[in-house]
């Protein structure tokens, strides 16, 4: 499973990748500061604002020998859903998890998947919070209906809200990926056609003016996952300046504290098994036979890390420094898929500090 993005990345030299990494980190941090400013007029508490402002001012990653793969080790991320830095990290984590869960459902439960987008007409900021409640409620109501219960073997569902700056209104919609039996697409008594999805959605929403929905079989699994798991607050990451103060207020008030991504049925079941396996690995506890079988199918980190990468944000840019790990640290920090082999450290590079790249200032 290699995404298009990764393929492009592979064609770039390590030096070029390094340069682009710092450009994107710097950009995200700068956007974050714009968001802080906007959220300070939107009712966010002072404590959260301070955490968001401080997010990513200190980064500690571990990096592979050629430095092209960097993994967070201990950075001061704020985990706020309105934070651009954290939104990007979260989207990456969500898509990895969903891809893995789908792989397990397909291999172990022999299911197929459908991808759907259900929309409602755009609403002004004043109505956004109520509309979101209504959408969530309507989805639950629809899934409780007999014909959907028969089809649905579990889903992952995400609420997305786009802001239209020209019209100054919002476009809430749902994306979902649902596991179905193989017979779903061929069995006429069972299959739910697109017009029927639309009719049912209009019905549970109580709005016959809804026209835009799309439900189709998943052919490109990664593409579907990417569409579902892309940034929670895409508009905030891409272009927060397009929000008026009023719009940001409604956006924040409508979305704060809301669960935006939810797992059901087989999706929930396998997500929970994965969490248990990860938890047991951390504690060094033994896996059950069932967990062992699932664990064999989980993606593993095949990387060995040789560098500590530390960065500090100051005066509008990152100063950063690579420091070589000790052999003990290399051993302690290798990926969970790396086999135990003595002497697997590449025999090049200097010992101690890599002075060539110390304290570089990027994009100030
Ligand atoms: Zn953050």
What pLDDT, in 10s, does the model give residues 264-276?
999 999 999 999 9
How many A from CA of 133 to the centre of ligand 1? 26
Which of 297, 326, 355 terminates a domain? The answer is: 297
Under a CB-based contact definition with an 8 Å cutoff, are residues 287 and 277 in contact? yes
**Is pLDDT at 347 greater than 90 in this prediction?**
no
Which of 265, 297, 329 terminates a domain? The answer is: 297
Closest CA to 360 of 318, 298, 326: 318
| Whole-angstrom distance, CA of residue 237 vs CA of residue 200 | 34
Q: Are residues 51 and 100 in the same domain?
A: no
**What single-letter DSSP state applies at residue 57?**
S
Average pLDDT over residues 242-253: 90
How many A from CA of 60 to the centre of ligand 1? 14
pLDDT of residue 2: 43
* Listed residues: CB within 5 A of ion ligand 1: 55, 77-78, 83, 85-86
How many A from CA of 79 to the centre of ligand 1? 5
pLDDT of residue 355: 37
Is the model more confident about 348 or about 31? Answer: 31
| Whole-angstrom distance, CA of residue 48 vs CA of residue 58 | 17
Q: Are residues 290 and 312 in the same domain?
A: no
DSSP 307-330: EEEEEEEETTEEEEEEEEPPHHHH
Closest CA to 132 of 40, 257, 235: 257
Percent of the chain with pLDDT over 70: 90
Q: Are residues 293 and 312 in the same domain?
A: no
Average pLDDT over residues 61-83: 94
Q: Are residues 345 and 234 in the same domain?
A: no
What DSSP element (H or E) covers 119? Answer: strand 112-119
| Whole-angstrom distance, CA of residue 156 vs CA of residue 261 | 7
Q: Are residues 358 and 243 in the same domain?
A: no
Give the tokens for residue 231. Answer: 């940034």
Q: Are residues 193 and 231 in the same domain?
A: yes
**Is pLDDT at 4 greater than 90 in this prediction?**
no
| Whole-angstrom distance, CA of residue 171 vs CA of residue 260 | 15
Q: Are residues 156 and 184 in the same domain?
A: yes
How many A from CA of 72 to the centre of ligand 1? 13
How many A from CA of 241 to the centre of ligand 1? 18
Q: Are residues 49 and 167 in the same domain?
A: no
Identify the band that residue 245 occupies on the pLDDT scale cut at 50, 70 and 90: confident
Which of 279, 297, 315 terminates a domain? The answer is: 297
263 within domain boundaries:
yes
267 within domain boundaries:
yes
361 within domain boundaries:
yes
Closest CA to 120 of 255, 211, 187: 211
Identify the band that residue 349 occupies on the pLDDT scale cut at 50, 70 and 90: very low
Q: Are residues 183 and 131 in the same domain?
A: yes
Under a CB-based contact definition with an 8 Å cutoff, are residues 72 and 89 in contact? yes
Average pLDDT over residues 63-80: 94
| Whole-angstrom distance, CA of residue 107 vs CA of residue 111 | 8
How many A from CA of 240 to the centre of ligand 1? 15
Under a CB-based contact definition with an 8 Å cutoff, are residues 87 and 94 in contact? no
Q: Count up the domains in the chain and report the number.
A: 2
Alpha helices (runs of H) in the chain, residue ranges in sequence order: 4-10, 14-39, 46-54, 84-109, 125-143, 146-151, 194-205, 221-229, 234-238, 245-255, 265-283, 289-297, 327-333
Identify the band that residue 342 occupies on the pLDDT scale cut at 50, 70 and 90: low
Q: Are residues 285 and 315 in the same domain?
A: no
Identify the band that residue 213 occupies on the pLDDT scale cut at 50, 70 and 90: very high
**What single-letter DSSP state applies at residue 233?**
T
224 within domain boundaries:
yes
120 within domain boundaries:
yes
Q: Which of 83-87, 96-100, 350-354 has the lowest mean pLDDT?
A: 350-354
277 within domain boundaries:
yes
Identify the band that residue 315 occupies on the pLDDT scale cut at 50, 70 and 90: confident
Q: Are residues 179 and 206 in the same domain?
A: yes
144 within domain boundaries:
yes
Q: How many residues does the chain have?
A: 364
Query: Domain span at residue 210?
Result: 91-297
Q: Look over the chain and give the mean of its residue pLDDT values, rounded to a whole number.
A: 89
pLDDT of residue 334: 94
Identify the band that residue 10 occupies on the pLDDT scale cut at 50, 70 and 90: low
39 within domain boundaries:
yes
Q: Are residues 271 and 151 in the same domain?
A: yes
Which 3 state secondary structure label does DSSP give 217? Answer: strand
């Amino acid at each position: 499973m290699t995404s298009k993005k990764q393929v492009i990345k592979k064609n770039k030299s390590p030096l070029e990748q390094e340069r682009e990494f710092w450009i994107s980190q710097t950009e995200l941090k700068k956007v974050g500061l714009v968001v802080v400013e906007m959220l300070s007029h939107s009712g966010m508490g002072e404590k959260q604002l301070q955490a968001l402002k401080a997010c990513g001012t200190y980064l500690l990653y571990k990096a592979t020998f050629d430095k092209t793969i960097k993994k967070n080790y201990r950075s001061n991320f704020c985990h706020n859903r309105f934070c651009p830095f954290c939104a990007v990290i979260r989207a990456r984590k969500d898509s990895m998890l969903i891809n893995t869960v789908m792989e397990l459902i397909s291999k172990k439960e022999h299911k197929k998947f459908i991808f759907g987008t259900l929309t409602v007409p755009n609403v002004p900021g004043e109505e956004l919070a109520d509309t979101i409640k209504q959408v969530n409620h309507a989805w639950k109501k629809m899934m409780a209906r007999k014909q959907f219960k028969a089809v649905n073997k579990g889903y992952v569902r995400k609420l997305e809200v786009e802001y239209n700056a020209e019209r100054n209104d919002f476009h809430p919609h749902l994306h979902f990926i649902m596991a179905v039996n193989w017979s779903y697409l061929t069995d006429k008594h069972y299959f739910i056609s697109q017009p029927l999805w639309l009719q049912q959605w209009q019905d549970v929403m109580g709005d016959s003016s809804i026209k835009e929905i799309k439900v189709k079989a998943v052919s490109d699994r990664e593409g579907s996952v990417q569409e579902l798991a892309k940034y929670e607050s895409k508009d905030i990451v891409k272009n927060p300046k397009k929000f008026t103060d009023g719009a940001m207020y409604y956006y924040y008030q409508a979305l704060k504290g809301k669960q935006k991504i939810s797992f059901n049925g087989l999706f929930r079941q396998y997500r929970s098994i994965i969490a248990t396996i990860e938890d047991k690995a951390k504690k060094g506890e033994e896996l059950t036979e069932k967990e062992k079988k699932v664990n064999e199918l989980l993606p593993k980190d095949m990387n060995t890390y040789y560098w500590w990468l530390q960065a500090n944000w100051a005066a509008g840019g990152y100063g950063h420094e690579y420091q070589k790990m000790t052999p003990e640290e290399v051993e302690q920090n290798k990926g969970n898929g790396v086999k135990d082999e003595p002497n697997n450290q590449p025999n090049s590079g200097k010992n101690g500090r890599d002075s060539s790249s110390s304290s570089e200032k990027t994009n100030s």
